[in-house]
Amino acid sequence: MPALIFDCDGVLADTEQYGHLPAFNRTFADFGVPVQWSVEEYAKKVQIGGGKERMRSILTPSLAASLGLQDGDAVDNAIASWHQRKTETYKALVESGVMPARPGIARIAREAHDAGWTLAVASTSAEPAVRAVLAHAVGEDLASHFSVFAGDVVPKKKPAPDIYLLALRELGIEPQDAIVLEDSANGLHAAVAAGLRTVVTVSGFTRGEDFAGAALVVSSLGDPDGEQAEVLADPHGVRPSGVFTLATLEKLLALPATTHETETP
């Protein structure tokens, strides 16, 4: 059966601004790190794949010295401690309900599951955080049917294709039998490099990015009685009409595997 593979942040929920950013800033404050990212600063940091990597990006030699981090081992230990606290803080924010699922996520996951599709999440975020967002977005019962590939399970994070190659291998799925939902250029590059048809549902931090290579670009998946999906690029003419459905997925799956190129929206 075909597979539907979701990214997490920005796809399942709009997690970056309302979850990850405050969790990073609270963690920095908790550990006495004199850094507080603004929304504008964080918009640049989201282009770095992985939370630990984003944290590491602040550690100039002078800041590391001021924090008493005298060598590489000390830096690695500090990053590990910060990231553990950040993940705990982030999970608490998820569970508080401040980040509702994006339109259409629970609906399309249910439609795909009921049709026998394999469901998975492939993300470079920490696995406990990904599982928390997934359960909140689609419900505990449906979440139990997902395979989750997340965190440090691959050596290179997005835009490298490693996480998607791992998902394909573990699921026993060929690239032509899967569709990915992503929200960022980094995620799109990772999926396309793995040979996967990719739908981009743009998020607040990514709308202006270059999505050349996507099979379809939409503002969201839409819901029949709620937000409607705006089509931003539709090179293959699948024409989702306000709502992205299983029929849309089936049209995309029928595309030749080598014709994913599109104009930049």
Among the options 7, 14, 162, 177, which is catalytic? 7
- Is residue 195 within 8 Å of residue 180, measured between CB atoms? no
Report pLDDT digits (tens) over 35-59.
999 999 998 998 898 899 999 999 9
71 catalytically annotated: no
Contacts of 134 (CB under 8 A, 6+ apart): 8, 12, 121, 143, 146, 148
pLDDT value for 257? 60
**pLDDT of the residue at 200:** 97
The average pLDDT across 233-242 equals 91
CB neighbour burial string for 170-201, b if at least 16 within 10 angstroms, e if fewer: ebebebebbbbbbbbbbbbbbbbbbbbbbbbb
Please pick, among 9, 14, 162, 223, the residue that the annotation labels catalytic: 9
- 60 falls in which pLDDT band (50, 70, 90)? very high
Active-site annotation holds for 9: yes
pTM of the model: 0.84
Six-digit token string for 40:
């504008």
pLDDT at residue 260, rounded to an integer: 40
Q: Sign (positive/negative) of CA torsion 39, 13, 170, 261?
A: negative
